[in-house]
Chain A
Amino acid sequence: MSAIHKVIGTETEFGISMRNAPDFNPVLASSIVVNSYAGLRAKIQWSHEEESPGRDARGFGPEGGMMPDIDGGLVNVVLGNGARFYVDHAHPEYSAPEAYDPLEATLYDKAGEVVLARAATEAQPLLEDGQSLVIHKNNSDGKGNSYGSHENFLINRELPFSDIVDFFTTFLVTRQVYTGSGKLGAENGRAAVPFQITQRADFFEEEVGLETTLKRPIINTRDEPHGDPSKYRRLHVIIGDANMSEVQNLIKLGSAALILMAIEDGAIPDSLRLAKPVDATWQVSHDLDLNLPLELAEGGTATALELQGRYLEWAKKYAENTDLPGPYEQVLEEWEAVLADLEKDPLLTADRLDWAAKYRLLREYQDRDGLDWDSPKLKLLALQYHDVNPAKGLFYKLQSAGRIRRLFTPSEVDAAVSEPPHRTRAYFRGKSVRKYGDALVAANWDSLVFDSGEETLKRVPMMEPLRGTRELVAELLDRSEDAAALLRALGEGDE
Chain B
Amino acid sequence: MSDREQKRTERRESETEEVVEETTEAGQEVTERIDDLLDEIDSVLEENAEEFVKNYVQKGGE
CB interface residues, B 40-62, toward A, < 8 Å: 40-41, 44-46, 49-50, 52-62
Most B CB contacts (10 A, CB to CB) among A90, A134, A238, A381 go to: A381
Complex CA distance for A403 and B38, rounded to whole angstroms: 13
Complex CA gap A447/B40 in Å reads 48
Contact A380 B45 (CB under 8 A): yes
Q: Mark B15-27, 1 if CB is under 8 A from A, else 0.
A: 0000000000000
Contact of A394 with B41 at beta-carbon distance under 8 Å, contacts A376-B50, A379-B53 already known? yes
The interface residues of chain A, by DSSP majority, are classed as mixed
Interface size of B as a range? 20 to 34
Q: A213-B62, A376-B49, A380-B52 are in contact. Are A145 and B41 (CB under 8 A)?
A: no
List CB contacts (< 8 Å) of A353-370 with chain B. Answer: 361, 364-365, 368
Contact of A397 among B40, B53, B54 (CB under 8 A): B40
Tell yes or no: A13 within 8 A of B by CB: yes
B-contact bits for A368-403, CB 8 A (1 contact / 0 none): 100000001101110110000001101001100101
Number of residues of chain A lying within 8 A (CB) of chain B: 43
Give bound CA distance, A88 to B52, whole Å. Answer: 24
**Residue interface mask A136-148, B partner, CB < 8 A = 1:** 0000111101111
B residues less than 8 Å from A238 (CB atoms): 62
The reply to whether A147 and B44 form a contact with Cβ atoms under 8 Å apart is: no
Residues of B within 8 Å of A310, CB to CB, are none
Please determine whether B62 and A147 come into contact, CB atoms closer than 8 angstroms.
yes
Specify the chain A residue showing the minimal Cβ separation from B58.
A141
Contact B59 A90 (CB under 8 A): yes
Residues of A within 8 A of B10 (CB): none
Take A364-B34, A379-B53 as given contacts and tell me if A88 and B41 are in contact as well, using a CB distance cutoff of 8 Å. Answer: no
Residues of chain B within 8 A of A379, CB atoms compared: 49, 53
A26 at the interface (CB under 8 A from B): yes
A contact residues vs B (CB 8 Å cutoff): 13, 15-17, 19, 26, 88-91, 93, 134, 140-143, 145-148, 150, 212-213, 216, 238, 361, 364-365, 368, 376-377, 379-381, 383-384, 391-392, 394, 397-398, 401, 403
